[in-house]
């Protein structure tokens, strides 16, 4: 797993400081920096590409509204703030739709965009994706959530703890159980 | 499938990204919406400079800052410590002492080492006397007791390392007994046997003897809490050694 380097962390910290001063340009820079992560998080949680697009738009707008009207003292990082907004937006989405979509959506295949990958890597990726696509929705929501945040979106344990309101130890236990559950789900196919 | 393989597969999913066309169009919409909201604040160049500076300090772990501070402290102590204008009740004093110890431990010439030890001991003793002479400097009695002990130690070092003098290049001369020295005539004992005893002037021995006497007087004055008097005597002892 690749963790963020100190330069990236510094950049994020600087961006967050500018956002505390309600700098609009900083927010657009934040969009460029986090849109992929937030979209991916939403997509793997709700399993529908179109809905993920709409929800991602809503999340960024809600975040800007929040930044504009609050002093941002309760969030340690911008990333954590975005994920918190994303979580509440997804909960709202579930409430409104009352149905939980799955990733097994043949009408909307997932686009994997990475020109640098070879065909073999692309096939391998699609195969991995296929497995996860089918098995991830079988997990409990909280398991799915920590797996996405930790292993797909590469968040640190501290950040996941802050976002979910759990302790670091709880997150570690949850991750262990989530991985075990996913492995069992895959092996039971 | 092992846990490691599963994690690797999950990591692969980091390549799942939204369409570029969607990202671009949504960016434009978001930009328009954000620009239309009230307030038009932008961080100025100067503000940005301060934010960057503050974040640089915040980004580097505290452990790294602490390590850098220690390294800087020791480096300063080792290279410039003996030139630091600090007294024995100052926190930088320890840096100076470390520096002096480091310097002494790297010297192999015994005579030079003794000279330097005397110089340092004299300096320390004078600083202690000077610090104690100003009652405002030290209010804590335990601190005073420590400084008294330190003074005695420094004077002892001073006496122990009073210079031995070479009468010429071949003979290492030891200092004659002070009784002899009082007569003004001194007998030097050469290191080698069978050589004629050189006749030297009486000045070095007087110097040694005088310095010892002066130091004893300084110690007496110090014990009597006449710090100014002790300071004068120490200066006098330095002068005698320099002659």
pLDDT digits (tens, 9 = 90+) for A63-90: 999 988 887 776 678 889 999 999 999 9
Alpha carbons B229 and B145: distance in angstroms, whole number = 19
Confidence of residue A143 (pLDDT cuts 50, 70, 90): very high
> How far apart are alpha carbons B70 and B175 in whole angstroms?
45
Confidence grade of residue B182 (pLDDT, cut at 50, 70, 90): very low
Does residue A129 have a pLDDT over 80? no
Would you call A57 and B23 a contact, using CB atoms and an 8 Å cutoff? no
User: Does B18 touch chain A if contact means CB atoms closer than 8 Å?
Assistant: yes
Who among A39, A43, A151 is closest to B10 (CB)? A151
Whole-complex ipTM: 0.77
Residue A112: DSSP 8-state: B
Whether the CB-CB separation of B138 and B182 falls below 8 Å is answered with: no
Placement of tokens 């692309």 in the chain: A122
- pLDDT tier, B89 (very low <50, low <70, confident <90, very high otherwise): low
The region of weakest confidence among A3-12, A30-39, B230-239 is A3-12
C-beta atoms of B17 and A39 within 8 A: yes
CB A175 within 8 A of CB A155: no
B172-176 long-range Cβ contacts below 8 angstroms, 24+ apart: B173/B198, B173/B200, B173/B204, B175/B204, B175/B205, B175/B208, B175/B209, B176/B205
Nearest alpha carbon to residue B134 among B231, B229, B218, B227:
B227
- Return the closest-CA partner of residue A60 out of B76, B146, B27, B191: B27
How does pLDDT run across B119-147, given as a tens digit for each residue? 888 888 888 888 887 766 666 777 788 88
- A52 contact residues in B (CB cutoff 8 A): 18
Q: Are A14 and B55 a contacting pair at CB < 8 A? A: yes
- Phi and psi torsions of B16, nearest 5°: -75, 120
Please give the Cα distance from B186 to B199 (Å, whole number): 8
Please indicate if any CB of chain A lies within 8 Å of the CB of B182. no
Subunit contact B42:A60, Cβ cutoff 8 A? no
Q: How far is B142 from chain A (nearest CA, A)?
A: 47
Looking at CA atoms only, how far is residue A3 from chain B in angstroms? Answer: 11
pLDDT above 60 (res A2): no
| B10 contacts chain A (CB < 8 A) | yes
> CA-to-CA distance for B218 and B205, rounded, in angstroms?
19
Model confidence at A164: pLDDT above 50: yes
Chain A interface mutation, best of B1, B11, B18, highest count of A Cβ atoms under 10 Å: B18
Rounded to the nearest angstrom, the minimum Cα separation between A114 and chain B is 7
CA dist B159 and B125 (Å) reads 12
Confidence of residue A155 (pLDDT cuts 50, 70, 90): very high
- Alpha carbon of B60: minimum distance to chain A alpha carbons (Å): 8
Of the residues B1, B2, B14, the best mutation for testing chain A's interface (the one with the most A CB atoms within 10 Å of its CB) is: B14
What does DSSP assign to residue A21? T
Q: Which residue has the higher pLDDT, A181 or B185?
A: A181
Q: Is the pLDDT at A148 greater than 90, yes or no?
A: yes
What does the alpha-carbon distance between residue A102 and residue A47 come to, in Å, rounded to a whole number?
5
Please tell me the predicted confidence (pLDDT) of residue A89. Answer: 93
Mean pLDDT, rounded, of chain A: 82
CA A105 to chain centre: 19
- Give the pLDDT confidence score for residue B233 in this predicted structure: 85
- pLDDT bucket at A35, cuts 50 / 70 / 90: very high
Whether residue B21 lies within 8 A of chain A, CB to CB, comes out as no
**Confidence at residue B184, expressed as pLDDT on a 0 to 100 scale:** 45
Lowest mean pLDDT among A117-121, B5-9, B110-114, B161-165: A117-121
Query: Which residue in the block uniquely carries the two structure tokens 């009652």?
Result: B135
Instruction: Evaluate if residue B118 carries a pLDDT over 80.
Output: yes
pLDDT for A122 equals 60
- Give the residue with greater pLDDT, B77 vs B52: B52
Who contacts B135 (Cβ-Cβ below 8 Å, separation ≥6)?
none
The mean pLDDT value for B187-191 works out to 47
Mean pLDDT lowest among B41-45, B203-207, B208-212 = B203-207
Decide if A56 and B13 are in contact by the 8 Å CB cutoff. Answer: no
pLDDT at B96: 77
Q: How confident is the model at residue B179 (pLDDT cuts 50, 70, 90)?
A: very low
Residue A187 to residue B11, Cβ atoms within 8 A = no
Contact A10 B15 (CB under 8 A): no
Is residue B201 over pLDDT 80? no
So where are chain A's domains? 6-187
Q: A44-76 b/e with 16+ CB inside 10 Å = b?
A: bbbbbbebbbebbbbbbbbbbeebbeeebeebe
């Amino acid at each position: 797993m690749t963790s963020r380097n100190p330069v990236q962390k510094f950049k994020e910290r600087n961006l967050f400081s500018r956002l505390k001063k309600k700098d609009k340009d900083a927010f657009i820079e934040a969009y460029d920096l986090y849109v992929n992560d937030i979209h991916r998080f939403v997509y793997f949680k709700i399993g529908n590409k179109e809905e993920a697009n709409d929800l991602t738009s809503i999340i960024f707008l809600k975040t800007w509204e929040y930044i504009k009207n609050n002093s941002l003292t309760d969030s340690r990082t911008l990333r954590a703030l975005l994920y918190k907004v994303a979580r509440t937006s997804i909960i709202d989405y579930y409430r409104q739709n009352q149905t939980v979509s799955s990733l097994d959506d043949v009408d909307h295949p997932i686009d994997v965009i990475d020109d640098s990958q070879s065909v073999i890597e692309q096939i391998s990726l699609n195969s991995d994706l296929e497995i996860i696509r089918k098995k991830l929705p079988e997990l409990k929501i909280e398991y799915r959530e920590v797996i996405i945040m930790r292993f797909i979106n590469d968040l640190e344990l501290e950040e996941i703890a802050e976002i979910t309101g759990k302790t670091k130890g709880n997150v570690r236990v949850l991750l262990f159980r989530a991985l075990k559950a996913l492995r069992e789900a895959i092996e039971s196919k | 499938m092992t846990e490691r393989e599963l994690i690797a597969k999950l990591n692969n999913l980091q390549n799942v990204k939204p369409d570029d066309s969607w990202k671009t169009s949504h960016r434009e919409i978001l930009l328009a919406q954000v620009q239309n909201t009230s307030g038009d604040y932008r961080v100025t160049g100067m503000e940005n400079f301060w934010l960057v500076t503050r974040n640089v300090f915040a980004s580097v772990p505290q452990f790294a800052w602490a390590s850098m501070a220690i390294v800087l402290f020791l480096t300063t102590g080792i290279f410039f410590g003996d030139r630091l204008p600090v007294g024995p009740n100052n926190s930088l004093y320890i840096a100076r002492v470390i520096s002096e110890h480091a310097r002494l431990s790297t010297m192999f010439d015994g005579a030079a080492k003794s000279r330097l030890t005397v110089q340092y001991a004299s300096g320390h003793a004078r600083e202690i006397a000077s610090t104690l002479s100003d009652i405002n400097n030290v209010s804590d009695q335990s601190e005073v007791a420590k400084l008294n002990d330190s003074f005695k130690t420094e004077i002892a070092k001073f006496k122990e390392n009073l210079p031995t003098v070479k009468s010429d290049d071949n003979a290492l001369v030891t200092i004659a007994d002070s009784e002899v020295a009082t007569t003004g005539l001194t007998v030097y004992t050469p290191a080698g046997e069978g050589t004629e005893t050189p006749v030297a002037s009486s000045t070095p021995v007087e110097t040694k003897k005088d310095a010892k006497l002066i130091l004893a007087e300084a110690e007496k004055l110090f014990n009597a809490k006449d710090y100014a008097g002790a300071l004068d005597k120490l200066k006098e002892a330095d002068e005698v050694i320099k002659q």
